[in-house]
Amino acid sequence: MTKYEVMAILSNALDEAQAKEETKNSIVNKIKELGGTITFEDFWGTRGFAYMIKGEKWGYYFVVQFEIDGTKINELKRDWNIDKNLTRFMITSVDPKAPAPRSQEEIKKEWDAMEKEKKISEAESPKKGTRRPAAPAKPAAPAPVAEKAPAPAKEAKPAPKKDDVDKKLDAILEDSSLDL
Partner 1 sequence: MPPKPKKFICTFCRNDVKHIDYKDSKLLSRFVTYYRSIQSRFHTGVCLKHQKQLASAIKRARNMALIAAVRYEK
Q: Least separation, in Å, of the C-beta of 88 and partner 1? A: 7
Q: Least separation, in Å, of the C-beta of 161 and partner 1? A: 26
Rounded-to-integer distance, Cα 5 and Cα 11, Å: 20
| Contact partners, residue 2, CB within 8 Å, separation at least 6 | 67, 68, 69, 70, 93
Q: Which is nearer to partner 1, 36 or 59 (CB)?
A: 59
Q: What share of the chain is helix, strand, coil (3-state, %, to 5)?
A: 50, 25, 25
Q: Least separation, in Å, of the C-beta of 22 and partner 1? A: 17
Q: Least separation, in Å, of the C-beta of 11 and partner 1? A: 13
Q: Which is nearer to partner 1, 112 or 155 (CB)?
A: 112
| Contact partners, residue 28, CB within 8 Å, separation at least 6 | 38, 41, 64
Q: Least separation, in Å, of the C-beta of 57 and partner 1? A: 10
Q: Which is nearer to partner 1, 97 or 157 (CB)?
A: 97
Which residue from 85, 92, 107 is spatially nearest to 174, judged by alpha carbons? 107
CB of 66 within 8 A of CB of 91?
no
* Binding stretches for partner 1 (CB under 8 A): 7, 9, 49-51, 53, 63, 88, 90, 92, 95, 97-99, 104, 107, 111, 144, 177, 180
Q: Which is nearer to partner 1, 33 or 46 (CB)?
A: 46
CB of 48 within 8 A of CB of 40?
no
Rounded-to-integer distance, Cα 59 and Cα 67, Å: 26
Q: Which is nearer to partner 1, 111 or 151 (CB)?
A: 111
| Contact partners, residue 149, CB within 8 Å, separation at least 6 | 115, 118, 119, 122
